[in-house]
Amino acid sequence: MAEGLEDPLQLRLTGNTCKDLAGTLLTFENKGEVVPLPATHKPFVQQVGHIGDLKA
């Protein structure tokens, strides 16, 4: 769950995975410092984009 949001972010990414990641579940975690967004800005819960080639 993203901080300050009622629903989790959904990543809908298109691209190619290399053999080392094909068919696996990916989990994204931010281990860095959390920087709060301004109260007037709420990100779209569904993030859509192209990632190109993805490999570990």
- Residue-wise pLDDT for 3-56, tens only, equals 667 788 888 989 888 999 888 888 888 888 888 778 788 788 899 999 888 888
C-alpha Rg value of the chain to the nearest Å:
14
Can you give the pLDDT at residue 17? 87
Joined tokens for residue 46: 């569904």
Distance of CA 38 to the CA centre of its chain: 20
Can you give the pLDDT at residue 3? 64
Cα torsion 16, 22, 19, 31: sign = positive
Can you give the pLDDT at residue 36? 79
